[in-house]
Every structure is written in C-alpha cells, then in structure tokens.
A and B are shown apart, each in its own frame.
Chain A
Amino acid sequence: MNVSGRIDSSATQTHITYTFPILEQSSMIRIEFNYTPKTLTDTHQAKEMIESAMLKYGYNDPQVQDWQKYAPLHNLITLSIDDPQTHRGQAHRQDPQQTHFLSADHASPGFWKGFNPVGQWKVTLSIHSVVTPECDYQLEVWGN
C-alpha cells in the first residue's frame, strides 16, 4: 500500500485509518511514513495561536506574556498498527519521518515483535495537531 494525503487544521484531533490486505505470509512488515511540514514558520500565526492557548489554559499572567518560550509550533501525527488479530503498538514521537518494521524476532520501538498474520491490517494516523495551513503525508506499507 502506498497512499498519500493532504490535511489542514480541520483534521486536528481526528484519526485516519487505512485498512488493507496482507495476503502473503510476510516475515517482515515494513512501514515508511512521513509528513511535511513539521513546523509552523509564520511567526505572526504562531504568536496568535500561542497567545490564544495561553489565554485558554490560564497561562496569561500579565507579568509573563512570553509567547516565544512556546514557539515554534509543530504538527504532530502518530502512527499505530493493528494486525488482523491484535494491537501491535504505536509510535508516539515527534519525528516527521519514520521507518517501522515488525517481524517474529524484532520490532522497531513502540511495537510488539511477533508473527505477522495474513488478513486485513490497519494503520491509523492519529492527528494530534495540524498548525500549518496544509500538511502532506505519505504512508507506504509492504511485506516481504
């Protein structure tokens, strides 16, 4: 499977799940995932978003109006995997470029090693935050 997509801030706090077949016995499932951009570079927008969060969460102490200590803002998308039988784990981290693998003896950090069953697999992208006007992602999964 090789899919890509473009999302904006309306995707914040949603999940995108791809369900796809793995029809041949695979000793190794590999996943490549990336998204771009990672960082909001527009300081005017960043200031606005940060100040509104500071107000919302009670960090608007007039003595310490230092929005810059929270800059820059980042997009965050995390990836989790469910095989046809069980949850295989999740990679909750900031990296916008990730490589994962699952095999009987090893798995990349965040995932459980183990036998890879044939059937319908799921990869879920959890979109914690999109702060840039657009965010493009690409997801590739293959077995071998």
Chain B
Amino acid sequence: MKWIPSELHTHTLHSDGQHTLDQLVQSALALGIDCIALTDHNTQSGLQDRQRVQAETGIHIVPGMEWTTFYGHMLTLGIHDYVDWRSYGIYDIEQGIDEVHAQGGLVGIAHPFRIGSPICTGCYWEYPIYNWEKVDYIEVWSTLMPAIKKDSQRAYAWWTSLLNEGHRITATSGRDWHRTEDHDAPAAITYLGTEDEDQLWYSLDIVQTSDTPFTDHVELEPKDNSVLTAMRQGAVTITMGPLLTFTAHVVNPIHDNHAKRYSIGQEIDCPQDQILKLEIALDTICRQKHYLLVDQSLRLVVNSNQGILFEQQIPVQTEVYDCELVQAEALSWVRVELYGYFADMYSMIAFTNAIYITHSS
C-alpha cells in the first residue's frame, strides 16, 4: 500500500480563495503534499489550468467542487460535468447526490458543524439524510489545527455515532484552504491508500486529454480513479504529522505470517471464538521535515463500537505494535487513534478510518 499525502478541500480566485491554482500548488508542494482536490465554491472553472499545472509541477489535481448551498456545503469529487445545485431544496439533497454518483463521482459533507447562516451562509449541515449509503465521506476535521476545534470534535463524534449505527462512511480532513500565510498554524494531512496503482502514482506521464476550447466538462485521469477508489474503500488515514496505519487479521496459531491482512477501510470476517490481531504502524519518517512532533510519550488507542479496547504509551519513533483482541464477537468496527502534544496543545494527533468486522458462525 502506498499512502499519498493529500489535501482534499481547496479554493482559488475562481471562487473566494486568495491564491491562484499555481500559488496554491506551490504552497502544497512546500508541505510535501502530492495530491490536492480543487473544490472551488460552485464552479469548476479553475480546472482550466489543471493540465498545465500538473505537467509543470507533477502534483495531481482531482477535479472537485464545493456545493455551496443555502443548507449545507457538500464536496464533490471526480465528476465530469457541472451538477447544478441551484434547483435543489432542503429535502432534495439526495437527488443531487444521485446526479454526482451517476457520473461516477463522490460526495462528502464539508465541515458539518461550522456555525451556519447568517454568520457563515449554509456552512452548518442542515439537510436531512434518509439514506446514509449515499454519503461517501464526512470531513470530520476542518481548517488548521482541527483537533482542538469544537466543530471538528462534534463532527468526529457524529461520524463515530454513524459508524456505531452500522454505516460505513469515510472520514477525511480538509483545510478549506483559501489563503496561505507565513505563520499559519499546522494543517492536517489526509493520506489516501493505493494498492494497485503504485506505479501509476510514481509515473510522471501526464495523460493528455482532449483540448477543447472551452467546456464545463472535465476529463478524468487515471490517478483520479486511484483517489476515488481509496475514498470509496475508506483507505484513508488522517494526521497532523506521523503516518498512522494498521491491518487486521484472524490469528492463525501455526502460520500467523500467512494469515491474510486486511487494511484500513476493508471488511474482515472474524469467526466466533477466533482472535483478531491488529498490527499498528507508526511512521515518523515520511513527511518528517514538514511537521514538528517533539519527543514525548504518545498515547496509542484502539477504539471501536465497544469503546476503547487497548491503549499504550509509545515513543515518537517508527515502530509496529501488535494488539490482540480476544473477545471480538461484539465488534463491528475498530480504528486507531494517536494523542499527544502537537503545536503546544494536547489533542488527537492522528486517526485512521475503520476496519469493519463481520462474524460468520
């Protein structure tokens, strides 16, 4: 699995951002980000520069848009054609979602608990969702230093309660990047996992797509599919710094090395009376120069629908930790969280998406 450091919520001068796509991408590259989604408010016109900027810099730009409606902000990713938000009312959001899905795109609820109208118009999510299957992701961490912000904490708790109800929804972070200043507080990184397309991600060949004089139609590229697949599968892990990942397998007492490992976002079947083992990896090397994590004792936590199952104090270093879950019968999901001091604040530093657990008899 290769993990792509990404930023999935950005704006440019095409809406109310204060930078051009070129400037945004330079700032992203300076933070060691390999992939951004351009999600301007209600327009995809910033994508007119996409191929040029990708070819010049090697970054990948996922076509996106932020539906900036009266009753909520919804991110869309990977769609070809503009989908019109203007005709949908407060009870119609699922129709809008269907239109995005019909094009193979994804939708995510942006900053669901940011204060709403008239302070930040439409920023609080007010749309009722009747069918959670339709929501691909929730931006549970929003803006800079998200973990200490109340709206992100509420979103995180909301996401957890949805997982507990049995919904499988990917969580992301989004900087909601409108401008870059010298002394910005740290932003989180959303790592997207790709398995089959490692080669693709390393290749610098930019796929030439049709060069029409103008269009509100966007050509998708192979890397977009890697991103969409990762998001769809929930192969996503979020951090202020170190990369936190884990796998799960059913313990095989004789050939444990051969037991199939399931990764973040996947479903594992754990038959009755079997032991579930997690292998949790903390990687403090990748993107090391882009964040500061002072030497300390970090708190590693395994969380689940049954609450906290395991915790351990660990040092700031690259290491793998094993965790055996003996009574796994009642578990429907597990995820890993990391807590400690970051930028002088004690908070959550990283969390993974869930591995989902079923129990055949």
Contacts and interface: CB of A to CB of B under 8 A. Distances in A.
Given A50-B119, A53-B119, A57-B116, A94 B16 contact: yes
A54 interface: yes
Where chain B touches its partner, the secondary structure class is loop
Interface in B203-230: 213-216
A104 B119 contact: no
Given A59-B115, A128-B117, A112 B16 contact: no
Interface in A89-144: 89-94, 104, 107, 109-115, 124, 126, 128-129, 131
From B13, B15, B117, B150, name the one whose CB has the most chain A CB atoms within 10 angstroms.
B117
A15 interface: yes
A128 B70 contact: yes
A91 B68 CA distance: 11
Contacts of A13: 70-71, 117
A18 interface: no
Interface residues of A, number: 40
Contacts of A12: 117-118
B216 A57 contact: no
A131 B70 contact: no
Given A15-B86, A50-B119, A111-B45, A57 B124 contact: yes
Contacts of A47: none
A83 to B, nearest CB: 10
A46 to B, nearest CB: 10
Interface residues of B, number: 34
Contacts of A113: 48, 213-214
B16 A90 contact: no
B200 to A, nearest CB: 29
Contacts of B118: 12, 49, 53, 73, 129, 131
B94 to A, nearest CB: 19
A94 B43 CA distance: 15
Contact of A57 (B44, B115, B214): B115
A-B residue pairs, 5 tightest by C-beta: A114-B214, A92-B41, A128-B121, A13-B70, A93-B16
30 contacts: A13-B117, A53-B119, A54-B115, A57-B116, A58-B113, A58-B154, A59-B115, A76-B121, A78-B42, A80-B42, A89-B44, A89-B45, A90-B41, A90-B42, A90-B43, A104-B213, A104-B214, A107-B45, A109-B12, A110-B14, A110-B45, A112-B215, A113-B213, A113-B214, A114-B213, A114-B215, A115-B214, A126-B86, A128-B117, A131-B118
